[in-house]
Structure 1
């Protein structure tokens, strides 16, 4: 087994992602939450781990703004993790700094962003360059499985680097759009997982039975074989955090959307805590 299989530092925990508050943090609602508000809501739910993931305002925050977020989290007893997209070296270094200010020991990212779609050789060169800085800071990089890059390509890079500070953020829901079956992805990435995104998913027939919609589902009610995934990845044994996300479509009204988003979050927490 590759030494990236050592998993995360500390205990396995259940956390919330900013994606669990996707609509409430967005400008689609009349009174969007701030990230401080989202942290307070997480604390009210008894959550002590929060992953700020693909949250655009984070990149524009100065050190004082970041320190204020860290202070709120500390006061609430919440540990922070950070997520972004892209692996350009300067972008990774910027988010290494953000992670350090926020006290995160993990940075989740994805290979591709508009204008930069590195091949495997470039990705290996980039990680070889920056990983010593991440290792010195005690921050691991977890590359997420998703439809834009075949899982076997991501794994090929991770295996070539062969460093416990580079691994996988497992999210089998993402890969279905590339016709990668969730169980196959889980089997392939299991030894290299450093972080898990937990969201359920389902297909439904479109009107007139013309095609399907692939979208989120309440955890435990969709196609995610959670028990199989846990058996293969062993997050508790390997101290891998499980981060709750949602793919919740906008509902008929803002009120309905917020209500259902909160309901899905509570249900997901109840489901994971029961396991």
Structure 2
């Protein structure tokens, strides 16, 4: 299914705007955009919600016909256990996380130990833990971890744009991760020359206009056949003022949804 992430509302819920969107606002906007999944990803207020608050979020999502996913950063077992509980409370079947979190940078052996320590609980709950591709961890290490653990409830959240900063080709990243992909963060990106032609800037682009080879990724991952949710994100630079930036963000989201809908068989 097509879904949106809190990263599709990155500026609209930030403190850079006068009236930031609430979680309920984002859920309603997702429903209004006609998509059926919302990933609450790297959203600090989620940690502070009580059991009653989480029940309210789940009830609203159910009323709107939206499937929820959640996302955090890190492999600390206490964190992953907490987010498993949050996922269960929200009726979410997927928790996206990342190998590292700030200064917490476990070795491959420690990351494997951590994941194994919590994975039994994920398996019992029927919830998938999906670790994202990004520049802080070589994709080969991430794939090796998933292969070594060998659980149907441990997969990869594919984002081919992130590892570019580690000089990894999106094509190579996709090829390595395709078999293990459980979730796909869909965002386009492109390079532009910096002023004076001194270096390049890697930033977001409206979906379908940048370097993302959507068709090849979809073919390799087999998104439709395997039921992989495609979660829309943006790397939208601040456009000078809140009004312009938030309008662009909404327009990029609309463009992404239309693009993905047209790609559906």
Gaps of 5+ in 2: none
Aligned to 1:51, which of 8, 14, 39?
A: 39
Alignment equivalent of 2:186, drawn from 184, 198, 203: 198
| Alignment counterpart, residue 139 of structure 2, candidates 151, 160, 167 | 151
User: Structure 1 regions of 5+ residues with no counterpart?
Assistant: 1-12
**Aligned-pair distance for 1:56?**
0.8
Q: Deviations over 1:118-165 (max 9, x none)?
A: 111111111211111011111100000000000000111111100000
Q: 1:34 aligns to what?
A: 22
Could you list the structure 1 runs, at least 4 aligned residues long, displaced by more than 2 angstroms after superposition: none
Query: Higher mean Cα deviation, 137-146 or 114-123?
Result: 114-123
- Given the alignment, which residue of 51, 55, 72 partners 2:60? 72
- Given candidates 163, 174, 193, the residue that maps to 1:186 is 174
Tell me the equivalent position of 2:245: 257
Q: Any idea what the Cα deviations from partners look like across 1:85-130, whole Å, max 9, x if unmatched?
A: 0010000000000000111000000010123211111111112111
Instruction: Confirm or deny that 1:272 pairs with 2:260.
Output: yes
TM-score, normalisation: structure 2: 0.98
Question: Do residues 240 (structure 1) and 213 (structure 2) align?
Answer: no
Report the alpha carbon displacement of residue 68 of structure 1 after superposing the two structures with TM: 1.3
1:40-92 per-position Cα deviation (integer Å, ceiling 9, x unaligned):
01111111110000001101111111111111111111110001000100000
Comparing 218-227 with 124-133, greater Cα deviation is found at: 124-133
Deviations along 1:182-218, one digit per CA (max 9) or x if unpaired, are: 0000000011000000000001111111111110000
Return the alpha-carbon distance in structure 2 between the equivalents of residues 230 and 144 of structure 1: 17
1:91 matched to which residue of 2? 79
Does residue 176 (structure 1) correspond to residue 176 (structure 2)? The answer is no
* Structure 2 CA distance for aligned equivalents of residues 120 and 258 of structure 1: 39
For CA contacts below 8 A with separation 6 or more, give which structure has more relative contact order: 1
Residue in structure 1 matching 2:216, options 204, 220, 228: 228
Aligned partners of 1:258 and 1:32: how far apart in 2? 10
CA distance in 2 between partners of 1:253 and 1:25 (Å): 15
Q: Structure 1 length as normaliser, TM-score?
A: 0.94
Cα distance in 2 for partners of 1:247, 1:265 equals 11
Secondary structure of residue in 1 paired with 2:156: strand
CA distance in 1, matches of 2:18, 2:24: 17
Q: Structure 1 residue 215 and structure 2 residue 200: aligned?
A: no
Worse-matched range after superposition: 197-206 or 109-118:
109-118
Q: How many residues align?
A: 263
